[in-house]
Each structure stands twice: as structure tokens, then as C-alpha cells.
Chains A and B, each alone.
Chain A
Amino acid sequence: MAHGPAKGITRWLYTTNHKDIGTMYLWFSFAMFLLGGVFALVIRAELFEPGLQIVEPEFFNQMTTMHGLVMVFGAVMPAFVGLANWMVPMMIGAPDMALPRMNNWSFWILPFAFAMLASTLFMEGGAPNFGWTFYAPLSTTYAPPSVTFFIFAVHIMGASSIMGAINIIATILNMRAPGMTMMKMPLFVWTWLITAYLLIAVMPVLAGVVTMMLMDIHFGTSFFDAAGGGDPVLFQHVFWFFGHPEVYIMILPAFGVVSQIIPTFARKPLFGYASMVYATSSIAFLSFIVWAHHMFTVGMPVAGELFFMYATMLIAVPTGVKVFNWVTTMFKGSMTFETPMLFSIAFVILFTIGGFSGLMLAIAPADFQYHDTYFVVAHFHYVLVPGAIFSITAAVYYWLPKWCGNMYNEVMGKTHFWMAFIGLNLTFFPMHFVGLAGMPRRIPDYALQFADFNMYASVGAFLFGAAQILFLFNVIATIRGGRKATDEVWENPEGLEWTVPSPAPYHTFSTPPDVK
């Protein structure tokens, strides 16, 4: 087992090493992040001013759809799997993932899925244009021919995620070093364990819903077609039964990342470790019984409406516990503000703002005014961009010195942070206003009263995009050289990953470490 990596391209094609696979996941996700970002910039460029100037409505709809799909399934989810690959074995003192060969497959089918999805842009009739939520019958009877490729791409992504999740569960349950009890595991490991269970529960449901679409389109069934005894609303129920837990799949690992970083830079142990674990579990549980809050306007009996409203409001409690824990962790610490900490603090603040708008959206009668407006767009971007994207960025800055042995450029890191922070707020904060003022989402052109705020949002989006180029530059520069990082990297950080040399050797913990 003591040999190093193979040479050339075969190293990456055949690798079963968790660090190599983690690296590939992270680079792949960054590529997808840029691609999804380009789609977003097309949207923002068209919305810079009222009127149709850059793209046709048909293509605009393809952009909103592809942006959503690529960001959710291509950028955020693989990035977290990549972080899990790198960090979970090192955090629990395991030599590698539990099922290394499956690990290789689960990564290598992803590029095919996204190549297939991206190729639909060049097909006759264009790419999927029905939104990332692909409501039937717009996505079945009225879909462009490329919908079949979309369905297969989703199947492959689903298979990849399920395999990744199984691997992570097996690693965490079976591969922990002696003495690493469940309640000693770092919180990132805990949140990923819960996320992996969510993935196994709901990714098959997504596969099920697209399979039903496939059958409706090609084999004459009528799951979602009223004419044959089906119901388009069934689609929404099944989709959101997947979709709501999916939202937490994208945020729970982020909770874990931030719970690692804040204690390090506050130089103080995480406040309320146990309650963090319980809060995460209850959020995961609640995620299965709130799906219909995405469907308040669809027409439900009042009892159903009330149930989903109460259940959704309840989520605020465990989420609040987490925020309070992070703030209390910082309280009376001895804080420094390196780039990972800046991103983590921005995470706590902006995610909380996203949580507030979430609480507002939970109030069903008020949701009748918010639903499907830019207020919702503002809400979920506040949760996902500072939530998922910022935490991934923070994680990269935090662990990059461990991965490649060099310190990143702090000035560039902080510049990246401030550009991203300002860009993000300039993009998404005005969306609250236009949403409340009545601008529906997914429209390529808008009435004149929304013009000013849309212009700011577009400027902010390009600033945010530029910040990511700086990020890319900084990461590459760090990999190629820079000040050598110490083994600990930071001041007295907690965790087994800091006990191995920097850069982390190709094989770590071939003999299990002692866990205190």
C-alpha cells in the first residue's frame, strides 16, 4: 500500500485514492460552477434592462433551467462529495474510503452525465426549457425532444450521488480509527453522515419521478396526464418529496464545514456539539414532512395547508439553535479573520438572512404574495450562495494548505472575499424588493418599475463572477508555489487531519492513529 501515485493520465482514470478522487470532484465542480455561472450571467445580462435585447425568451428559459440544474447537481453536490472524499477519511483516521473502486466509478460517470446535459443546448428544439423543477405537463407533453437526454443525465447523476453516499456511510460507520466514537466525530463528518442518508432516501425518488416522465413521454402511460387519469399535481408532490430534502443535502455539509472553521479561528471549542448533532438530525427529519410548502398556491385542502405551514415554521427552531451555537462559539473567543473565517462569518450572517425570508415564506397566506416571485429567488440564493458556495470556498481556503503544502495568498483571498460578498449582496438583496413589488420569477423581460433594481442585480452578478476568476487564480498559484504551510497550518486547530504532514502524503493513517 505504500506506493505513490501512478504517472500520467492513468493516475486519474484508474485511481482509487480518496485524495485523488476528492481533487477530481472539486475541479469538476469548479468547472461546473463556472459553466452554471456563465448561464447565470446570460440571464443577468438579458435582465440588465427592460426589453428583449440579447436572447430570445425560448433561450432564456433554457438558461434558467440549465443554470439551476448545473449549479445544484454539477457544482454544489459534487463539491461537497469532493470535500467528503478528501476530509472524511483523514478526520476519522481511516486509510481511505470504504469502497475505493466504487468511488472511482461514482466520479467518472459524472462527466458523462453533464456532457449529455450540456449537449442538449445544441440539439434541435434546444435544451430543457421547463425550469430546474421541470413541472409536468410542460416537461412532458410540451417538452422539447431533448428532454429524453435530460432524463438520462438525471439518472446518471442520481446513480453517482447514491454511490457516493453509500461510500461515505460505509466509511463513517466501518472505518473509524479505534477510539473515534460517534460522539467524538468532527461535525463535518456528522453532517455528511446525515446528508448521505438523505441522499439515499431521496435520490431514488428523483430517479422515479423522471422515470415516470420518460414513460409518459415514450410509453403512453399517464402518471401526470389528466386525460389518461393521471394528475400533474402528483408530479409536484413526488418532485418536492425529493426536492425539499435535496435543499438540505446542499446545506447540511455546509453546517459541518462552518462548525469546523469557526472554532479554529475563535480559538475556542465549538459550543453545543451535542445539540448541533441533534439539530442537524431534526432538520433532516423535518425535511421529509414539509415538501408541500413549495405548493401552497397549487390548491390544497385547508388542513393540508395548515399542516405544512406549521411543520415548516418548526424548522426555524433547530436552525436557530445552530446559528445561536455558532455565535456563542465566537463569543469570548480570541478571534482572527483569515479568509476561511471571513467566509464562515459571512455564511452565518447571510444564511440567517436567508432563514428569515424562509420564515416569512412559511406563513402560507403571505406566501400567496411571495410565491414564484423574485422574493423566492432572493431567498434561496441567500441560502445557497452564502450557504453552500461560501462554505465550500471557506473549506477550500481552510484545507488547501493541507492539500498542497503551500499557504494561499491572504491578500488575494481577502480581496476575493470582499468582491464576492459585495457582489452577492448587490445581486440578491434587491431581488427581495422587486419580488415584493410584484416581479414574477423566470421572466425574460419585465415592467418598467423593476428596472433599477434589476440593473444593480446584474452589475452585482458580474462582480461576483469576476471574484471567482480571482479565486481560481489564487488556488492555482497556491498549488504551484507559495509560503510553505506548517503541519498544523493554523493555530492549534482541532482534528486528526492536522496531525499529518503538509502536504498530506498520498496515503495517510495506514496504521490507525491514537484517538484521545
Chain B
Amino acid sequence: MCIRVKRLFACLLVLLTGLSQSALADEIERWGVNMTQGVTPVSRDIYGLHMDIFWWCVGIGVVVFGVMFYTMIVHRKSQGAKASNFHESTTLEIIWTVVPFLILIVMAIPATNTLLKIYDTEDADMDIIITGYQWKWKYEYLGEDVSFFSNLSTSRDEIENRVPKGPNYLLEVDEPLIIPVKKKVRFLITAADVIHAWWVPELAVKKDAIPGYVNESWTYVDEPGIYRGQCAELCGKDHGFMPIVVKALPQPEYDAWLVAKREQAAALKALTEKTFTFDELYAQGEKVYGTVCVACHQSGGEGVPGVFPAIKASAIATGGMNGHLDMVVNGSSKNPAMQAYGPQLSEVDIASVVTYQRNAFGNNMGDSIQPIDVLKFKQGQ
């Protein structure tokens, strides 16, 4: 905080003492006061529109405020100004109706062109289905058999000010969306619970994700890089904690990633057969709890009274294994915030998190469950 206040004073000082052009430009860059130009043809078009309309506004502002300040300085009673009595002028009124109208037409033409470009989603090279959940994103590569969830990876300790915040505080995820550069990528955007909005400023893509309906958008990224965004539609408690990270890779690296991703999924599947020790399950469960459950049930398992039930000493976590598994896999029919995690988490993760919940927070049930049993449960056996 102290540094920031100092920086403010430094900035004011520089402004007062007269600032060189380049220093000013650097300041603007460092402070981030303007829209990003982005990395796609559409984002650059939008930036252009933004700057055009901005300068029109500045121009009109200079004229209007100029006249206003002139009159406030000159036509003052204390300066001996005598009031004239005119209160009508058809010519003036026609001018200031027609001129703004013409400016609007000048602006409307490029805006229309850009809009038509944005709506042209045809002939994409690949499609990615984006699904918004409370409070994470799911990415599914259509026809590639690859899909995964993307969760906030900033730790609770950082959020609750126990450790210093990293440079990408709140804008980092466990698994970013990977796309190839110089390809038209079409996004099919939907949601599984409430309305979210998928927004990455550098791609200039912002589209609402609406439960039951599909929206589409597209991008064409020029340069490899990491681009960060956030959910832009209020979607409940952790609306501020579901960032988006897009990593654009050159085509060969993208292809390699896709292969690796499939192998990883296969390896995870194989793990379902493996038998884990209690400690392994507990340790993995703590991790899963930290990304998936902690937002509602809180780090001590105490929940939020009246909104999110506690796990600590709860009837479900200290009751039968099947009931507990059913709650995690199939969700709650009473409380829509408790989603069905069966389709979202791997068998290993479900087995771990259930084991963790039954033994953490002083629940001390002493039992555990293996991934293969979760699989059997999922298959209805």
C-alpha cells in the first residue's frame, strides 16, 4: 500500500513538473488505462472503433466545454456582464441536431462492418465447446476426444492475505485452454447452471454462457502467448474467482499437446484399476478438496450456515459410504449448488476426496474407498 501511495505522489509530481512525451506514454502503458489492442484481427478492429469514437467524444467535449468555460469566465455578473435576452435560434438548433447525426452515421458504418465480421462464424478450422459451471470452465475439443475442467489455481492463502500474492493473482488456472495460432477457432459457449460470460480481452471475445442454449463466437490468434480473462456475468458467490487462461501455441506444439493430453487421460483411466494406500488417497483428496469443494464448504469443512451445508460432523460424511458417494457423484436434488461431480471428476479424484472428507475436520471415520469401487458405483453396480 505504502508503495502505491508513493507512486501516486511520484506521478503527481511528474505531472506538475511537466512530463516528457515518452515518459507519459510509458506511464500510460504501465498503468494500463486503455483497452488492449489484442492479438486478433477482430480485437484490433474493435480497438480502432474504440479509439475513433473516443476521439470524436474528445472533440465534441472540447467544443462544448470550451464554450462553457469561456462563458463561465467572461459572462459573470461580477465581471459586470449584462444578460442578453435571446432564447431561440432555429438555425443553431438545426445545426446541432444535424451535425451529431452525421457524426453518428460516420461511426455506424465501420461499427456495422466489424459486427458483421464478428458474426461470420462459418468455416472454422476447429470447434471448442466451452461450458460455464459455478465456478469453473469446462473445455471440450469437438471430435478430438479431449475435455477437461479449468479451475482457479490461486491459493486460498494468497486470497486471504496469509502469503504474498503472485504476479498472476486470480488470473491463473490449473489447466489453460490450449489453441493453435493462425487458425480460425470457433467457440460454442453454454452453461450448466446459471448464466456466465466467457471473456478474454486480448481475443475480444465476450459471450454469455446460458444454461440450455448455445452461443457461438470465434477467434484467430496471430501470436503465440498466454492471454488471461475472467467471467463477466455475475454468477454467484465466486464469480470473481473463475478466470480464463488461453495459451496459443504454434501448430506443431499444439498437436503434440493434444497427443500428450490423450495419453494423460488414458493413464488416468489405468489408475482406476490401481489400489491406493489411505495416505495417498488422503493427500490427493486434500488437493481435490482445495480446488473443487473449498469454495462452498470452506477450508475447515464448516460450510456457510443457511447457504452451504457443513461437511464437518455432517450426517452424510459421517454416515454410510454409499450415501456419501451418491451425494458427490450424483449431486443434491434439493440444493442445485451441489452439482453432480460424477461426470466432472475422475474416479481417482472422487475416491480421494470422499476419503479425505470422511477423515478430515475431525470426522475421523477411519474408512476409505478405492477408485475401482467408485467406477462400480458410477456404473450402477
Contact = CB atoms under 8 A, between A and B. Distances in A.
A302 B4 CA distance: 45
Interface in A297-342: 297-299, 302, 305-306, 309-310, 313-314, 316-317, 320-321, 323-324, 327-337
A232 interface: yes
B86 A51 contact: no
A141 B337 CA distance: 10
B232 A373 contact: yes
Nearest to A368: B206
A57 B4 contact: no
Interface stretch (B50-58, B311-319, B367-375): B50-58
A61 B158 CA distance: 21
Interface string A427-452: 00000010011101111111111111
A227 B211 CA distance: 9
A246 B87 CA distance: 31
Interface in B63-122: 64-65, 67-68, 71-72, 75-78, 81-89, 92-93, 96-97, 100-101, 104, 107-108, 111-112, 114-116, 118-119
A449 B1 CA distance: 13
8 contacts: A51-B161, A51-B165, A61-B237, A332-B71, A349-B65, A360-B53, A366-B50, A369-B204
Contacts of B71: 327, 330-333, 335
Contact of B96 (A324, A329, A366, A371): A324
A114 B173 CA distance: 41
A438 B57 CA distance: 21
B76 A335 contact: yes
B195 A331 contact: no
B145 to A, nearest CB: 27
A334 B240 contact: no
Given A275-B93, A314-B104, A438-B36, A455 B68 contact: no
Given A272-B87, A363-B111, A455-B1, 19 more contacts: A50-B165, A56-B304, A58-B307, A61-B234, A61-B236, A137-B211, A142-B194, A227-B212, A271-B87, A275-B93, A299-B216, A334-B77, A335-B75, A360-B53, A365-B45, A446-B240, A447-B171, A451-B4, A452-B31
A366 B108 CA distance: 12
Contacts of B33: 433, 436-437
A328 B92 contact: yes
B234 A442 contact: yes
A366 B111 contact: yes
B72 A436 contact: no
B118 to A, nearest CB: 6
B211 A232 contact: yes
Interface string B16-55: 0000000000000001111110000010011001100110
A174 to B, nearest CB: 29
B240 A445 contact: yes
Closest 4 CB pairs of A and B: A226-B212, A443-B240, A124-B306, A356-B57
A440 B4 CA distance: 22
Given A49-B1, A359-B53, A437-B32, A299 B234 contact: no
B31 A365 contact: no
Contacts of B195: 135, 137-138, 232
Contact of A333 (B61, B75, B199): B75
A297 B207 CA distance: 5
A506 B16 CA distance: 55
A384 interface: no
A124 B307 CA distance: 8
A252 interface: no
Contacts of B321: none
A268 interface: yes
A371 B53 contact: no
Given A298-B208, A317-B97, A436 B119 contact: no
Chain A CB within 10 A, most for which of B75, B118, B158, B231: B75
A321 B97 contact: yes
A181 interface: no
Nearest to A442: B234
B118 A330 contact: no
B197 A297 contact: yes
Interface stretch (A88-96, A125-133, A154-162): A125-133
Contacts of B211: 137, 226, 232
Interface residue range, chain A = 35 or more
Contacts of B165: 50-51, 448
A451 to B, nearest CB: 7
Contact of A330 (B49, B68, B304): B68
Nearest to B57: A356
Given A317-B97, A445-B159, A433 B206 contact: no
A266 B111 CA distance: 40
A142 B77 contact: no
A455 B11 CA distance: 15
Interface of A: 49-53, 56-58, 61, 124-126, 129-131, 135, 137-138, 141-142, 144, 226-227, 231-233, 266-273, 275, 297-299, 302, 305-306, 309-310, 313-314, 316-317, 320-321, 323-324, 327-337, 345, 348-349, 352-353, 356-357, 359-360, 363-366, 368-369, 371-373, 433, 436-438, 440-453, 455-456
Given A436-B34, A440-B199, A52 B53 contact: no
B274 interface: no
B215 interface: yes
Given A273-B87, A366-B46, A368-B46, A298 B237 contact: no
A330 B92 contact: no
Contact of B93 (A272, A299, A450): A272
Given A52-B161, A138-B235, A297-B208, A440 B240 contact: yes
Given A135-B234, A298-B210, A336 B107 contact: no
B194 A137 contact: yes
Chain B binding surface SS class: mixed
B88 A272 contact: yes
Nearest to A432: B33
A266 B88 CA distance: 16
Given A135-B234, A144-B307, A299 B213 contact: yes
Contacts of B229: 438
Nearest to B56: A359
Contact of A231 (B114, B116, B213, B336): B213
B60 A335 contact: no
Contacts of B84: 268, 332-333
Interface in B187-213: 193-195, 197, 199, 201, 204-208, 210-213
A323 B67 CA distance: 12
A257 to B, nearest CB: 18
B305 interface: yes
A124 B308 CA distance: 11
B1 A313 contact: no
Contacts of A137: 193-195, 211
Contacts of B215: 298-299
A316 B104 CA distance: 9
The residue among B45, B61, B87 with the most chain A CB atoms within 10 A of its own CB is: B87
Nearest to A271: B87
Nearest to B159: A52
A131 B234 CA distance: 7
Contacts of A323: 64
Contacts of B104: 313-314, 316-317
A321 B94 CA distance: 10
A144 B67 CA distance: 52
Counting chain B CB atoms within 10 Å of each CB, the highest count among A327, A352, A444 belongs to A327
Nearest to A226: B212
Of the candidates A124, A335, A450, the one having the most CB atoms from chain B within 10 angstroms of its own CB is A335
Contacts of A438: 36, 201, 229-230
Contacts of A348: 68
A313 B215 CA distance: 25
Nearest to B28: A433
A330 B88 contact: no
Nearest to A451: B4
A57 B235 CA distance: 12
